[in-house]
């Protein structure tokens, strides 16, 4: 049996809180919330992978960020009001909403990407490749346990 010297759950909670504070502080400088910043970053990543034409479903965002439909709707409504995104009914299923990044939303991407790179380097820069792989596996295991519920 392993000996655990620090309660992993508490360490994870403290680290999560610290990261959320740093994200919120950086997002506030852009007049965004942390969740808005993460969603814009995700949409930007998807845009880069799709050759400049992109729509993402609201359901995909709910799953990606593990947030409830009502919370997602509220966040997206605020983003749409600020013209950061555009929401419309899916051409395949009118019950589904698809999200598209607007030009106004795209203007935030360079600053958001820079913050994400700097933050990752600060947090992960001292890890070896093997340690980084172990951290990624640890978080994937947690996500996999949650998705099995």
Domain residue spans in the chain? 18-109
Report d(CA 81, CA 61) in Å as an integer.
18
pLDDT tens string, the chain, 149 residues long: the values are 566 677 888 888 998 899 999 999 999 999 999 999 999 999 999 888 775 556 788 999 999 898 999 999 999 999 999 999 999 888 888 888 899 999 999 999 999 999 999 998 988 889 999 999 998 998 888 888 766 66
Return the percent helix, strand and coil in the chain, to nearest 5. Answer: 65, 10, 25
**Correct CATH for 18-109 of 4.10.80.400, 3.90.700.10, 1.10.10.10, 3.40.250.10:** 1.10.10.10
Number of H helices, E strands in the chain: 7, 3
Residue with tokens 């172990």: 134
User: Model's pTM, two decimal places?
Assistant: 0.84
DSSP 81: H
């Amino acid at each position: 049996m392993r000996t655990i010297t620090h309660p992993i759950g508490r360490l994870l909670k403290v680290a999560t809180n610290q990261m959320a504070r740093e994200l919120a502080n950086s997002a506030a400088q852009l007049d965004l919330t942390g969740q808005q910043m993460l969603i814009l970053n995700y949409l930007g990543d998807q845009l880069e992978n799709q050759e400049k034409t992109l729509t993402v479903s609201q359901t995909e965002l709910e799953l990606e960020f593990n947030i409830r439909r009502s919370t997602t709707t509220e966040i997206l409504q605020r983003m749409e009001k600020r013209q950061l995104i555009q929401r419309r009914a899916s051409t395949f299923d009118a019950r589904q909403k698809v999200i598209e990044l607007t030009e106004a939303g795209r203007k935030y991407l360079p600053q958001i990407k820079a913050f994400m790179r700097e933050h990752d380097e600060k947090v992960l820069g001292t890890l070896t490749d093997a340690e980084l792989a172990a951290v990624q596996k640890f978080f994937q295991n947690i996500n996999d346990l949650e998705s099995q519920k």
